[in-house]
Structure 1
Amino acid sequence: MADTTQTATAPKVLAELNNQIKTITINNPKAKNSVSPETTKLLLEELGKSMLDGTRVIILTGAEGNFCSGADLGGSTMQNPRQYDVTTYLRTTINPVVTTIRNMNIPVIAKVRGVAAGVGANFALACDMVYAAEGAMFSEIFTNIALSSDGGGAYFMVKAVGYHKAFELMTTAAKIKADEALQLGLINHLLPENELDAAVQTMAERLANGPYIAIQQTKANLREAMKGTLESTLEAEALNQARNFQTEDMIEGVVAFLQKRPANWKGK
């Protein structure tokens, strides 16, 4: 694995790129992969690199059995919280990670084991797909320490489960087991622990080796649908379809359909 920083201790963010699929791992296992401001900056840097290094799919995960337990409350930033500029921290580190995941046209898959809590839950919900192992737990845990949500939790929860259920789950800091998360529509797939890695890898390979430009434009269309109107989404679809019409894959897809054979996608 290639790490994103050189320190006296283990790097807090790991990245490995193989066959256009990059696995980014939050690496603070002793604290269930909680994130400090420094860790979040490293994560943002690695996401930025992914737009330049040929990455087609990102798998976001955590080291050694947990996804991310949220912010590192044991760090120096919490020694005097009344003097800490949390607004600037969120605006310059947490928020850019969330918006980058959503705004980049690279598909991002969250692979969740163990705890995904607080901003860790919201990093997962920001992704385009969420795969979870049996035993995973999600929580908008903020009110347990007299905080309100950040990292887009209010947005993602309302979109996924509706206002009333979101209010209940968030104000009570409910611990949402993986099977309930599946029923609520918070995750795509729930798998036995020993099947999770293979299932995520299979999906990542399907996306990376598929009609990639069309997949990117589909993410762009869905992004517009989430924030816009029917009219703005129709316009985005019309513009993005024009881009697809210029690709080699579009011609190959039509020919393969007419010849009744599998398409040979090039991602071009």
Structure 2
Amino acid sequence: MYEFLKYNLEAGVATITLNRPDVYNALNNEITFELQAALKECKKNEEVRVVVLTGEGKAFCSGQDLKAASKEPNRSFSESIHTRYNPIIQAIRNLPKPVVCRLNGVAAGAGCSFALACDLVVAAESAKLIEVFVNIGLVLDSGSSYFLPRLVGSSKAFELATMGSRVSGKEAEALGLVNKCVADDQLDDAVKAYTDYYAKAPTKAIGMMKKMLNKSQGASLTEMLEYEAHMQDIAGASHDYKEGVNAFLEKRKPEFLGK
């Protein structure tokens, strides 16, 4: 189905693996469109309860494939961003299901942006995050100018962006760029701890909370109080709410269907 991705769905967990390991999963035209298609599949497939985004081999994603880009000297940067990269960031942020980044190696440029766009990031100690744009005279794109200052503050974001600093997994954890950093051989188990939870969680409520937290970035307290009331009406009519209450009353563990 995919040439440059691996896609696997098992027990509610959809794993999307960038699969160009020979070039550290650099992003050519084809892989970006395949990633858009895979994220659309995750959104429409009710069996998918949580998504894992990772990379094959030693890297997560090294960003734009500069060799491929050099073959298109007259390409429009803005057109490429609007058609290839922005739809991926929007798809991750708007997916009504949790997206976990399994950060298994270097995440540079747009690859770094992909990681930061995920809802949770679990990093290996050997992982590196690099806003590499400045090294070739470009500016942040794919959402990094949005995510960075919100995660680390304006001053640190300026430093990371303008110096192209290499941030290790442990440093990224301390800065709040990733949720957790673990030894390389513990990465799969650490990711599985999250996916085991989310695969059986009330997916509809979690998707709604994701939407609320996204909205809160540009809303007032008054607006959010109103929005919370609106969303709670929707959540209160869900199957999982009824199941949660019944399980509490019956003193048993709830069996959420994500509906």
Classify the TM-score, shorter chain.
over 0.9
Alpha-carbon distance in 2 for matches of 1:250, 1:43: 33
Unmatched runs of 5 consecutive residues or more in structure 1: 5-10
Contact 2:112 2:130 in 1 (8 A): yes
TM-score, with length taken from structure 2:
0.95
Unmatched runs of 5 consecutive residues or more in structure 2: none
Count of aligned pairs: 258
Q: Which has the higher contact order (CA 8 A, sep 6+)?
A: 2
Aligned mate of 1:216, from 199, 207, 223? 207
Equivalent position amino acid for 1:32 in 2: Y
Alignment partner of 1:190: what SS?
strand
Equivalent position amino acid for 1:208 in 2: A
Q: CA deviation at 1:259?
A: 4.3
Contact 1:32 1:69 in 2 (8 A): yes
Contact 2:117 2:147 in 1 (8 A): yes
**RMSD after superposition:** 1.4
Give the share of equivalent positions with the same residue, in percent. 38
Contact 2:61 2:108 in 1 (8 A): yes
1:166-214 alpha-carbon deviations (Å, 9 max, x no partner): 0011100000011110011000011111111122122112112112221
Equivalent position amino acid for 2:52 in 1: I
2:178 aligns with 187
Contact 2:13 2:52 in 1 (8 A): yes
Alignment partner of 1:120: what SS?
helix
1:63 aligns with 56
Q: CA deviation at 1:161?
A: 0.7
Aligned mate of 2:109, from 97, 104, 118? 118
Aligned mate of 2:191, from 200, 224, 232? 200
1:92 aligns with 83
Contact 2:97 2:203 in 1 (8 A): no
1:37 aligns with 29
Alpha-carbon distance in 2 for matches of 1:266, 1:97: 27
1:160 aligns with 2:154: no
Equivalent position amino acid for 2:93 in 1: R
2:97 aligns with 106
Alpha-carbon distance in 2 for matches of 1:232, 1:37: 40
1:53 aligns with 2:45: yes
Aligned mate of 1:74, from 40, 46, 67? 67
1:24 aligns with 16
Alpha-carbon distance in 2 for matches of 1:115, 1:264: 38
Greater displacement, 172-181 / 12-21: 12-21
